[in-house]
Structure 1
Amino acid sequence: MQDSRHHVPNPLRPYYVPPSIGADALPNATSNASKPTSSSSGFTFPDLDYSDYIPDGSPSLTGSIKSYIDQAFWKYATVVLGQPFEVAKLILQTRVAQDDELDEIPKKRLQHHDQEEVQLNGFDEYNEEHSSDDEPNYFTSAAPFDRPFSSRSPARGRRGRPSRESASPRIPDRHQKSDGRIHLKNPHSLLDTLSALSSTDGGLAMWRATNSTFVYNILTRTLETFLKGFLAAVFAVAENDILSGSAGGAVPDTSILSSTTPLATILLSTSAAALSALVLAPVDAARTRLILTSSNEGPRTLLGTLQTLPTPYLIPAHLLPITFFTSTLPTLISTSTPIVLKSYLGLDPAMNPASWSLATFLGSAVDLSIKFPLETVLRRAQIATWTSPSYSSPTTSSKRKIITTIVPVPQSYRGVLPTIWSITREEGFSESQKDKTAALMGKAPRRKRKGQGIEGLYRGWRVGFWGLVGVWGTSFVGGLQSNTEAASAEAGVHGGKF
């Protein structure tokens, strides 16, 4: 006989409704009130269809391997497509401005005049060598026919003319100097840099250090993710919050808005980015050297280049401050941008999609404007590791040698602020737009000012800016499309009701 307690409402639980499933298991319940019932263990549930919630089963080993291979191929293809622009940007950032960069037109005229002078000198030498003193006098009866010998007689061709090698000197390539370095007509042009590089070292020179860049990107993402999870476990922060607040993209991630501890998420994300950048700084420095040296400058492998560091496989001491600032400040700005927009400006990505997209674009532009000067200083500090003899340790100074780069690079590194001051106030010359206009109109002579100004800190900025525009435009169009589809679906639902 079934226990009546399961059919009569319990006065202690007046709103409890006994389940209708598993009624056959009720006789198994005992009448002892002190003994816990186990009626729920005998409930029988009907077959439920979970196909809508779990569409696919567990992936097989072959499917997992294929997925990893596809992701690796896609990331490597991304690196290959963007490597020429990365190479051009790095060359522009590390190149030391020359004092005569503003005198391009007079320099071209001077080069043309020098070439004409060389050609005229060649023909003067030819005329001097073939003067009338070398010719026999056929109208003198007393003099015997004796052709004088001249040691300066040039090699003659088939018709007695001097050969091309002696008549016209060889003019060197306009992109290459005598020391193997490339010459740039415009020190701020990416296309001119790629053209000069490909004309001197071949088309494959634009893809230097592609494998090293791919390895560096993979190691950075892997190590940063690991450090985020480790720090989240140490400081008792939800792992989903710290991992979702990643700042790796050009547009800030809005998933940090759902974090229960946004301040801790920002600090831990910034700390993970700084630690991973410090650990992988030798790899980044080796990548910089492989890009800025010609194919004849060995070694050309990543491991071989790491062994040429003053402290092999470890970050040099002079790279610690600039690497720390380059990794922390942009990450801090990018991660905290969504919090600032929602807390202080009252913007919401769901309620104000257009305003939110525009605000995040401006925030990313601010992030890029701070990141580029720091990255310029970082690249110069990295290449100074091999060009400055002051960074050689006593144990390796006899084995290391000063390398030859494809562009003029700094021979020493004095620090973050001194390098910024040197670029803006001491290196090369600059000319304001007002002076340029006045000089073109003939109202005033050209005025050159010492130093490149702020513009010298933003060489190659178009690479980062156009990348930001592309990512932001894609996300903006995708957001508009999703909002349009949601509005259409809502209109269809209301139309069906009426």
Structure 2
Amino acid sequence: MQDARYTPNPLRPYYKPASIGVADISSNATTGASKPTSGATFSFPDLDYSDYISDAAPSLNLSIKSIIDQTVWKYTSVVFAQPFEVAKLILQARVAQESDGDRPKRQSRNVEQEEEAVSAYDYDNSSDDEPNYFSSSAPYERPLSSGSPDRGRRGRPPRSEPSPLHRDRQQASDGYLSLKNPHSLMDVLSTLSSNSGALAMWRATNSTFVYNILIRTLETFFRSFLAAVLGISESEVLLPLSSGSIPDTSILSSPSPISTVLIATAAAAMSALVLAPIDAARTRLILTPSSQEPRTLLGTLRTLPTSYLIPSHLIPITFLTSTLPTLLSASTPVVLKTYLGLDPAMNPASWSVATFASSTLDLAIKFPLETVLRRAQIATWTAPNQLLPTSSSKRKAVTTIVPVPQSYRGILPMIWTIINDEGYSESEKDKAAALLGKAPRRKRKGQGVQGLYKGWRVGFWGLVGVWGTSFIGGIQSGSEAASNAGVHGGKF
């Protein structure tokens, strides 16, 4: 029996009915040749959707290849950035010394003293210790009143204690870094490579890669979890809130941007607290010499006094370091759009300048907190008995490649110590007066506020690069949109 829809109508011979709709399969089946069906199907025989939906699902090989490509790309980015991260972390954790500014003079003075000692020794030995072979045939007798020092093994004078230059060389052989400029990233990298080899600049690369992968995965998981608990759509909270160092505008498309910002901040805090042991282990691997065991991530985690859990003294500083920058970067587009009336499409130049100022403020808040965090993390191993006085077993402090804090009393006390107690600071006015000879050189106790921003060039130049790219792209897109609008306006 033929379907009535496909039977030609004598009154409408040229009409062809639409083929999209519900087709009764049971009416088209022949008796005894078809299987029993329980309804109708909706068919699209004449609709071409190949441009929108692929006919075949991606194969397993393509999926594996995509995962491998993303992993290689992320690991490569970590490898390129790791030397600068190592140098920044060393500068942040290093305790300033009183003699940092006088180190070049002291080293030259030590070299001069060493050369004078060697020349004096050579002169004394060449005066009256050698026999005169051209005088008489009498056997040589050593004079009793010789002023030469007592000879040790193989004719060399014994040394009671090593000289300062010899001590510096011995420390350098053990991996200890003697920095000429304690504020220079390149000086840290050159000293580290000369003392421990070029591969020392890539310390804890695998740990950094694992930490970066896990922090992104846990943030996505916690966002989805909090969205499900609070009854918010996952499409609102899974927006990429930041692109590099510049806040992303995708949060403006969210129906509830305030909820999205709060959920993102809470997810960042929870992820940082869970992964705080890995971050602390990464700091230990960077700041300890290669001879300090263990050198693996799992082995370092076993040395934690709390057994794979975050130590209690790291909870406040880890919470602040993760929440404040995330809250600022995530809420910046909302504040600019709501309160300042800036639109990224209509005002691309003003939007780029405003986001750059916001990102600079983000770095200004982040770097002091990071400095305190690194010192609190390494104090877990350098002052274990002071941080855990109730522990029954006494732990031995580890050896570090730079001077680090031997105690940690909290966030504000550490900031106060850096500004007012560590090292010394000298104003530009005093430096100019000392160079001109108008006044003696004056040193003030403490590093000042600049002691909290060691290694700031890494973050700042990265911010400038990302912002410059986005700024040029925003101006080009805005000019193209304006030109297109002018062309269409001229046509109509």
Question: Shorter chain as normaliser: what TM range?
Answer: 0.7 to 0.9
**1:379 equivalent in structure 2:** 374
Deviation at 1:248, TM superposition (A): 6.2
Distance 1:56 1:99 in 2: 71
Q: Return the TM-score normalized by structure 2.
A: 0.84
1:100-249 matches, within 5 Å, as 100-104=99-103, 107-108=104-105, 110-132=106-128, 135=131, 145-149=138-142, 152=150, 172=166, 177=171, 180-247=175-242, 249=244
**2:34 equivalent in structure 1:** none
Which deviations, in whole Å up to 9, do the C-alpha atoms of 1:203-247 show, x marking residues without a partner? 000000000000000000001100000100100111111110534
Contact 2:207 2:282 in 1 (8 A): yes
Classify the secondary structure of the residue corresponding to 2:178. coil
Identity %: 61
**2:63 equivalent in structure 1:** 64
Contact 1:175 1:184 in 2 (8 A): no
Distance 2:126 2:450 in 1: 56
Contact 1:278 1:324 in 2 (8 A): yes
Consecutive unaligned residues of structure 1, counting only runs of 5 or more, are 3-19, 29-39
Deviation at 1:490, TM superposition (A): 4.7
**1:325 equivalent in structure 2:** 320
Contact 2:110 2:165 in 1 (8 A): no
Deviation at 1:115, TM superposition (A): 2.6
Name the CA shift for 1:352/1:148 in 2 (closer, same or farther; >3 Å).
same
**1:342 equivalent in structure 2:** 337
Distance 1:415 1:321 in 2: 9
Name the CA shift for 1:133/1:373 in 2 (closer, same or farther; >3 Å).
closer
Contact 1:96 1:408 in 2 (8 A): yes
Deviation at 1:122, TM superposition (A): 2.8
Deviation at 1:53, TM superposition (A): 2.5
Q: Is residue 454 from structure 1 mapped to residue 453 from structure 2 by the alignment? A: no
Distance 2:259 2:440 in 1: 58
Consecutive unaligned residues of structure 2, counting only runs of 5 or more, are 5-16, 26-38, 144-148
Deviation at 1:138, TM superposition (A): 7.3
Letter in 1 for 2:261: I
Letter in 2 for 1:408: P
Which deviations, in whole Å up to 9, do the C-alpha atoms of 1:74-104 show, x marking residues without a partner? 0000000000000000000000000112224
1:223-372 matches, within 5 Å, as 223-247=218-242, 249-372=244-367
Classify the secondary structure of the residue corresponding to 1:318. helix
Deviation at 1:24, TM superposition (A): 10
Classify the secondary structure of the residue corresponding to 2:246. coil
Classify the secondary structure of the residue corresponding to 2:461. helix
Letter in 1 for 2:120: D
Distance 2:345 2:96 in 1: 48
Q: Return the TM-score normalized by structure 1.
A: 0.83
Contact 1:282 1:313 in 2 (8 A): yes
Distance 1:192 1:153 in 2: 41
**1:390 equivalent in structure 2:** 386
Deviation at 1:306, TM superposition (A): 0.2
Distance 2:281 2:94 in 1: 17
Deviation at 1:259, TM superposition (A): 1.1
Name the CA shift for 1:336/1:403 in 2 (closer, same or farther; >3 Å).
same
Name the CA shift for 1:481/1:56 in 2 (closer, same or farther; >3 Å).
farther
Distance 2:69 2:22 in 1: 52
Distance 2:184 2:193 in 1: 15
Distance 1:270 1:64 in 2: 32
Deviation at 1:171, TM superposition (A): 5.3
Deviation at 1:475, TM superposition (A): 1.6
Let me know the Cα RMSD of the aligned residues.
3.4
Which deviations, in whole Å up to 9, do the C-alpha atoms of 1:304-332 show, x marking residues without a partner? 00000011110000000000000000000
**2:413 equivalent in structure 1:** 418
Name the CA shift for 1:155/1:116 in 2 (closer, same or farther; >3 Å).
farther
Name the CA shift for 1:130/1:27 in 2 (closer, same or farther; >3 Å).
closer
**2:32 equivalent in structure 1:** none
Q: Match for 1:480 among 471, 475, 478? A: 475
Aligned residues: 456
